[in-house]
Amino acid sequence: MITVYGRGTCAPCKTLLYWLRRKNIAFKYVDCSLESPGDIYIFPTVIIGDNRIEGLNFSALNHLLS
């Protein structure tokens, strides 16, 4: 399961969501517009299993999703 933590006003977050949708990748989105949940301080943050990707890193995403 892929979980994306982002903010509605965050341009990199919007870019990531668009990219995931274009690739038909299922994900859960957590909107952190009001406050950060726990230790999430960089947006977007993507959790895939035990892996955490902070920021917009398509290279890391492609590696984990292939």
Q: Give the CATH number, domain containing residue 34.
A: 3.40.30.10
Residue range(s) defining the domain that contains residue 58: 2-65
Convert the pLDDT of each residue in 1-52 to its tens digit: 899 999 989 999 999 999 999 999 999 999 998 777 778 889 999 999 999 9
Number of domains, the chain: 1
> What is residue 20's predicted lDDT score, i.e. its pLDDT?
98
Q: What is the pLDDT of residues 52-62, one digit of tens each?
A: 999 999 999 99
Write down the pLDDT at residue 35. Answer: 77
pTM for this structure? 0.92
3-class secondary structure for 2-60?
Answer: EEEEECCCCHHHHHHHHHHHHCCCCCEEEECCCCCCCCCCCCCEEEECCEEEECCCHHH
pLDDT of amino acid 11:
97
